[in-house]
């Protein structure tokens, strides 16, 4: 049923403006409700098990908005619960969405009334600038540290752990911290590691990603072969231990992921440790092939993901099951969705017409965008997918 008040053309210019104002008020009221629902979805973690790494990622894929905007909406939705005056002005259409989102970055219960009067008279850019200044002042307080210049690292736990410690002058420390934090915002978080309790883990991932990118730019990177010792029965069934030669034990599903994007050779062993098979040496796609895949796919091929950083070439048919390292058997995925396939039960298929289909652990095809109708389970999709 259409809203006749919204679709009927006003007779005069004054009525046109009145109708436009009324439409704006209704839009603000609807957007106010939307931000409240976003905050509630965040609290209930309603985005989980949907192929998204966090709520912003989910909103971006579902509604086709940028993740930057999604994060601003999420923050504003939470902030409005403690800003009744701004929330009311928004619901009445006195303040638009863009101004509210910017005000929510720095407004407090004590000053929101004054900020509303000020915000009504200035542009969105002025509000955003004030928010940037406030955020920068807070960041500088956090980045204060003792002035020193030292960096050291060490190995522990029989070579299984790597420790790193550094003390830098404040200005240099700010550069390092900002670089790590910027990358940490983009490094995909795995399911169960999205909250602030895992912020340190994300920073560690960011540091590794920063160093990996620098090594990848080297004109002559040293790509050593990783030798993995595995129980023949366990590797196929997904049970039993696997061990990186000279390193720690790893899970079989992690080995399968390494076979996609590393130079790996698997030594299959019997129960007594005797060698019963030697896997062929897998190779990462050549440099020209990676360039072609990135040109062809542009971004992670998970529906709506859009990630262009931290992407990897994924073997659709497992390399160890005869899958070829060629363009037809490779698809670009971000590290998050790559791990979903190998370690969280998702699967992917590539049709002859270029369509890439993704399926959740239950075999249900994933489709981006809002839908009220469940998708029927497609049989046979898990065979040779990995």
The answer to whether residues 291 and 354 touch, using CB atoms and an 8 Å cutoff, is no
Question: Which pair of structure tokens corresponds to residue 301?
Answer: 């091929």
CA atoms within 13 A on the CB side of 229: 14
pLDDT digits (tens, 9 = 90+) for 173-186: 778 888 888 888 77
User: Is pLDDT at 77 greater than 60 in this prediction?
Assistant: yes
pTM of this prediction?
0.55
**Residue found under tokens 């529906």:** 303
Q: Which of 168, 112, 106 has its CA nearest to residue 133?
A: 106
Q: Domain map of the chain by residue range? A: 20-142, 143-187, 226-278, 287-359
pLDDT digits (tens, 9 = 90+) for 198-250: 788 888 888 877 776 665 454 443 344 556 666 655 555 555 566 666 555 66
pLDDT digits (tens, 9 = 90+) for 100-154: 999 999 999 999 999 999 999 999 999 988 888 876 655 554 444 344 467 777 7
The answer to whether residues 316 and 341 touch, using CB atoms and an 8 Å cutoff, is no
């Amino acid at each position: 049923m259409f809203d006749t008040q919204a679709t009927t053309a006003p007779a005069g210019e004054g009525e046109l403006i009145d109708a436009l104002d009324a439409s704006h008020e209704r839009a603000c009221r609807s957007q106010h409700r939307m931000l409240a629902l976003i905050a509630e979805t965040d609290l209930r973690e309603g985005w989980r098990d949907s192929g998204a790494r966090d709520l912003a990622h989910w909103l971006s894929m579902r509604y086709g908005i940028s993740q930057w905007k999604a994060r601003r909406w999420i923050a504003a939705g939470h902030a409005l619960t403690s800003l009744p005056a701004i929330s009311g002005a928004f619901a009445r259409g006195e303040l638009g969405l863009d101004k509210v989102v910017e005000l929510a970055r720095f407004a407090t219960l004590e000053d929101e009334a004054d900020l509303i009067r000020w915000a009504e008279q200035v542009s969105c850019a002025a509000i955003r600038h004030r928010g940037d200044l406030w955020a920068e002042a807070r960041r500088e307080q956090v980045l204060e540290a003792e002035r020193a210049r030292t960096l050291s690292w060490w190995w522990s736990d029989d070579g299984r752990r790597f420790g790193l410690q550094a003390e830098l002058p404040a200005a240099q420390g700010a550069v390092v911290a900002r670089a790590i934090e910027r990358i940490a915002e983009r490094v995909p978080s795995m399911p169960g590691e999205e909250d602030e309790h895992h912020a340190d883990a994300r920073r560690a991932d960011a540091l590794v990603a920063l160093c990996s990118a620098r090594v990848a730019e080297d004109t002559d990177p040293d790509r050593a072969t990783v030798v993995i010792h595995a129980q023949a029965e366990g590797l196929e069934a997904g049970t039993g231990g696997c061990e990186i030669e000279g390193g720690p034990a790893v899970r079989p599903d992690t080995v399968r992921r390494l076979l996609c994007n590393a130079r790996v050779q698997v030594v299959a062993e019997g129960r007594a440790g005797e060698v019963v098979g030697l896997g062929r040496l897998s190779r990462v796609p050549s440099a020209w092939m990676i360039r072609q895949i990135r040109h062809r796919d542009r971004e992670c091929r998970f529906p709506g993901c859009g990630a262009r950083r931290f992407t990897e070439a994924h073997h659709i048919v497992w390399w160890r099951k005869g899958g070829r390292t060629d363009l037809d058997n490779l698809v670009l995925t971000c590290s998050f969705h790559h791990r979903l396939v190998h370690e969280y039960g998702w699967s992917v298929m590539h049709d002859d017409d270029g369509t890439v289909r993704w399926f959740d652990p239950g075999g249900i095809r994933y489709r981006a965008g809002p839908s009220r109708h469940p998708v029927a389970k497609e049989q046979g999709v898990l065979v040779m997918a990995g």
